[in-house]
Chains A and B, each alone.
Chain A
Amino acid sequence: MISHQGDREAILGRVKEALREPAPLKHPAERSAGGEPTTAHFREWLPPVGAAIEERLDLFRKLSETLRSELIACASVREAAAEIASLASAGGWKTLALHQGELVDALLPLLPASLTILPLQSGYDKDQLEACDAGLTECDLLVAQTGSVCVTSKNSGGRVLSVLPPHHIVIARTGQLVTDLTEAYQSLAAKYRDGYPSMISFITGPSRTGDIERILVLGAHGPKRLTILLLP
């Protein structure tokens, strides 16, 4: 039988012993106060974004294009539903998996009646979800600096709805677009003061691989397509 903590004390003991002699700091961060860099400085070094909402949107649009995400601006929930209907008929979808949420609930009655809906409420059958043609989720945030969609296990239908079906549709509001990862983490920390969801994931474009001759192929395991429907 194995102790459930293993060699905890022995390893911590070796670590403490090893650290008795301090290591020199070879690359002191220039603009750090008191020797420890603060995360507030990251913004000065990372790729610039711009302060105005238009600049943020422009960058997000540009990066989405590079990443081969499809960003579609929708004036209303009705328009978003129409976009989903046209994607569904073009893709020959039979089943759409989704979860409950403010935006999805508003969309649901407007979706084409021909689509079978698989709602993930308290659980699901893995095979059934795997066989779906698309997954519709909300998200927590969009990140301008990286072109990412931030989903969590709490607000995006659990851990795999955003990654198992071959087409992932995200419905979001422009107000969810933050400048950069620093702001994203600040926003998540404020939102989940009482406990983070068990998964936070920054999705940056559809699933991709370059493992064969470093040639880009989309849809390695996750979605081949990522569509972001952006409401005002």
Chain B
Amino acid sequence: MNTLAEPPSQQFHSDANRSSTDAPRRAAVRRALSNYQTARNRTGATFTDWKSARASAATIKHEALNHLDRYLEEFEQKFTARGGQVYWASDSKQARDYILELAKKNNVRAIVKSKAMTGEEIHLNQALLAEGYGVVESDLGEYIQQLKGEPPYHFVFPCMHLRRDEISDLFHRELGTAKTDNPEELTMIARRVLRRAYVEADMGISGGNFIVADTGMISITENEGNARLTVGLPKIHVALIGIEKVVPRLADLALFLPMLATAGTGQHMTGYNSMYGGPRQTGEIDGPEEFHVVFLDNHRTRLLADPEQRDALHCIRCGACLNVCPIFKNIGGHSYGTTYQGPIGSVITPHFRGLEDWKHLSGASSLCGACTETCPVGIDIHHHLLHNRRNAAAQKPAKGEQLLWKAFSFLMKRPSLYRFAMKFAPLGGLLHPLVQGTPMDPVAGWTGSRDFPAAPLGSFRERFRAHNAAKQSAAHTGGAR
């Protein structure tokens, strides 16, 4: 896990090494994802034209992001006209302070929260708990992770890495419930506990999947109904949402909701897709008295300022790129040490938290392009990983590597020197066993888990020359007969 003493790249390497040799965990993750792939393919095939739908989604997001200021202001105007309040937070601290202030001002005693990755991003729960506010995660996966004291493993499937017996043990330990290996019984345990949380809470905190500009609404997608209850029963609703989540029109959701469901879980439509435009209105019997939307920048504008990678902000957090990523499947979600795991997380984290500290994630890719292929809003994810590599190299050139390339190019331009140098290759092969496995081994990164091939005694050029000579002499002999 992420410890303060260790730089992110070292933590990444040690966690990735450990996770990739944890065969049972990898098997569990693979099993969970194999069902996803089948469902997604089946649902995707029902679309008349998935490619055009995807191009259209990309175009709509491009329009939204490239006029972001206009759409945010349009949302604000429509939303406040109906009694909502908008708070603009530049960074995590500002967002946390505002929510804490709201809790204080309203004498809030209990808080219930539905799934919000922005909450993870700003470490909201820790801040609320530190000030003495009880906060309960209501999404089943998030609730399990909260009990376990672990961040989500995957930003759509928070506890996909856990087996039922581990969850049963956790509930037994934390809630005192009887052990069971039945997922339904485990779900019902959480249901019973959390029902009280909705009824007793006086503040509900949610995230948001879409900011709808033309009607001033926040759209929330979920399967369990926990978000419906979180923003339905308490007297204050706070939605913490990244500024990039804009769509221009309510009608755009007719495209985005089915695409989010298909790409995210392989469903035609997620269980509950709800649009909230303001607090309780005149004539309505329930709903919160106050509805606050907290717009979170937290370095999103830094990514926005890069036209080459601006489309990384199109992301609708469906999680499809994680589900198909060979690296994610091998190293798992926690190794990344980021709020947003997998390929898209590796693209955006260096922008949010600093390229120098997080550039190692650009290498956490086989560049197979499965992420780009599967993305429902057409983000060129694996190209952006290459862009990040290039930018990191330009920002802080790797001196040793540069020297090596210079030497290589010097050698390659001088054939006679190259031929001379090649004569020493077998010598290197002979000497290598003396240093193999020691810090002096020049190819230690390779030989740690693989054999290094021995250099042949003759070069290809020598063999080629010998082969040609043999053929020619054979031809001469043949002609003489």
Contacts and interface: CB of A to CB of B under 8 A. Distances in A.
Interface of A: 2, 4-8, 10-12, 14-19, 21-32, 35-37, 39, 41-42, 44-48, 63, 99, 120-124, 126-127, 130, 145-148, 153-154, 157-160, 163-164, 180-182, 184-186, 189, 195-215, 217, 219-223
A49 to B, nearest CB: 10
B76 to A, nearest CB: 8
A10 B144 CA distance: 38
Q: Which of A7, A11, A159, A198 has the most CB of B within 10 A?
A: A198
B228 A160 contact: yes
A95 to B, nearest CB: 16
B167 A212 contact: yes
* Top 4 A-B residue pairs of the complex, sorted by shortest distance between their CB atoms: A222-B225, A159-B232, A18-B305, A181-B254
8 contacts: A11-B90, A31-B52, A46-B258, A154-B284, A198-B280, A211-B140, A213-B28, A221-B195
Interface of B: 28, 31-32, 35-36, 46-50, 52-56, 58-60, 62-63, 65-69, 72-73, 82, 85-90, 94, 97-98, 101, 138-141, 144, 157-160, 162-164, 167, 183-184, 186-188, 190-191, 194-195, 198-199, 215, 217, 223-226, 228-229, 231-233, 243, 249-255, 257-258, 265, 267-281, 283-287, 291, 295, 297, 301-302, 304-305, 307-308, 310-311, 378, 380
B229 A222 contact: yes
Contacts of A15: 68-69, 72, 243, 301, 304
Nearest to B32: A214
Given A17-B301, A39-B251, 7 more contacts: A16-B69, A39-B252, A157-B285, A199-B277, A200-B274, A200-B275, A201-B275
Contact of B69 (A7, A12, A26): A12
A202 B273 contact: yes
Nearest to A36: B63
Contact of A211 (B68, B159, B254, B270): B159
A201 B272 contact: yes
Contacts of B94: 6-7
A91 B107 CA distance: 40
A220 B47 contact: no
A6 B140 contact: no
A159 B233 CA distance: 8
A21 B270 CA distance: 37
B304 A19 contact: yes
B228 A189 contact: no
A206 B58 CA distance: 31
Contact of B88 (A7, A16, A48): A7
Given A29-B59, A212-B187, A214-B35, A44 B277 contact: no
